[in-house]
């Protein structure tokens, strides 16, 4: 049903933190437009991430790096219109927060003020702690993101598991603690060993949300297009290990389009059922007067 309707109040930062305290798993899913946000809400997610992953799954880029703040604003507005209960978190795209705290505050502020998001997500640990602190001080809730950080893909030399050595694992634990101390209300742990993610989760008061980080996290996040196998045309031949495809929407949609094309070419669509009519005398009169 479209139009105004009664919905439950939107989840808050406090609600998400309380879920960890109660031992309730947090469900997070990406969404990039109005219909996907509506479906995510109806499916019962607690948080929606408007991820800069839209660069690859929606805009056709080969990484998240080309995504702009205007892109994120555009898609965030649509998601906020579609989902009224889940807390909406939007990614700060590449180079909108790394150069200075002032840049981060200005751009994060726009995502809340213009985009309607309730929080922002940024990548980085210890070195981003001061930025997180300043953002939270002015009333901008922040979700941290450590482990595999896609905006640093060139530095990381590919999409590889992070934190496998004792030194790297210790750095990630330090990163997570620094983000918590700076005021982040949650931390995404991406593509790190499950035992390390479980350890980090046990050391933090704030929730961890895993993607490729095992079941020991306080919640999980997946990408919309991965979860639904929305289209294999831009998916890698070998899906990441952490992905579970719960439906094959891509094949279903492709089959429907193929059937549509076949019926149009064969003259089977549209039929009288899909067409509009007019009085016979009206068309006959037009034919007489206009030849």
pLDDT band at 108 (very low <50, low <70, confident <90, very high): very high
Does residue 202 register a pLDDT over 90?
A: yes
Q: Chain-wide mean pLDDT for the chain? A: 94
Residues 112-157 have pLDDT tens digits of 999 999 999 999 999 999 999 999 999 999 999 999 999 999 998 8
Please count the other Cβ atoms lying within 10 Å of the Cβ belonging to residue 167: 9
Does residue 5 register a pLDDT over 80?
A: no
- The whole-number average pLDDT for the span 213-233 is 89
Catalytic residue from among 102, 114, 130, 190: 190
Q: Does the CA dihedral 152-242-162-18 come out positive or negative? A: positive
Does residue 99 register a pLDDT over 90?
A: yes
Q: Catalytic site residue 114?
A: no
What sections of 140-278 are H helices per DSSP? Answer: 153-156, 166-182, 194-203, 224-228, 249-265
Instruction: Identify the pLDDT of residue 125.
Output: 98
Does residue 235 register a pLDDT over 70?
A: no
Q: Say what the pTM is.
A: 0.92
Distance CA 120, CA 133 (A): 13
Does residue 13 register a pLDDT over 60?
A: yes
Does residue 1 register a pLDDT over 50?
A: no
Distance CA 144, CA 176 (A): 8
Residue 121 three-state SS: strand
Instruction: Identify the pLDDT of residue 230.
Output: 83
Instruction: Identify the pLDDT of residue 234.
Output: 46
**Percent of the chain clearing pLDDT 70 (strictly above):** 94
């Amino acid at each position: 049903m479209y139009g105004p309707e009664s919905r439950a109040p939107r989840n808050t930062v406090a609600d998400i933190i309380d879920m960890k305290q109660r031992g309730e798993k947090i469900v997070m899913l990406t969404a990039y437009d109005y219909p996907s946000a509506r479906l995510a809400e109806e499916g019962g997610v607690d948080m929606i991430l408007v991820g800069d992953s839209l660069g690859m799954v929606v805009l056709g880029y080969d990484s998240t790096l080309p995504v702009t703040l205007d892109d994120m604003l555009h898609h965030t507005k649509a998601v906020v219109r579609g989902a009224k209960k889940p807390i909406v978190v939007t990614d700060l795209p590449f180079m909108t927060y790394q150069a200075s705290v002032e840049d981060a505050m200005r751009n994060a502020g726009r995502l809340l003020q213009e985009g309607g998001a309730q929080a922002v997500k940024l990548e980085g640990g210890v070195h981003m702690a001061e930025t997180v602190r300043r953002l939270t001080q002015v009333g901008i809730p922040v979700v941290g993101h450590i482990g595999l950080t896609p905006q640093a893909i060139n530095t990381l030399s590919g999409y590889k598991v992070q934190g496998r050595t004792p030194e790297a694992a210790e750095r990630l634990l330090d990163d997570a603690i620094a983000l918590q101390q700076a005021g982040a209300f949650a931390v995404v742990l991406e593509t790190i060993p499950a035992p390390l993610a479980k350890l980090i989760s046990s050391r933090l008061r704030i929730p961890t949300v895993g993607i490729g980080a095992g079941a020991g996290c306080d919640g999980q996040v997946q990408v919309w297009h991965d979860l639904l196998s929305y289209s294999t045309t831009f998916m890698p031949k070998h899906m990441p290990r952490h992905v579970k495809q719960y439906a094959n929407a891509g094949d279903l949609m492709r089959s429907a389009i193929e059937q549509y094309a076949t019926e149009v070419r064969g003259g089977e669509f549209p039929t009288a059922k899909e067409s509009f009519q007019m009085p016979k005398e009206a068309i006959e009169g037009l034919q007489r007067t206009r030849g």
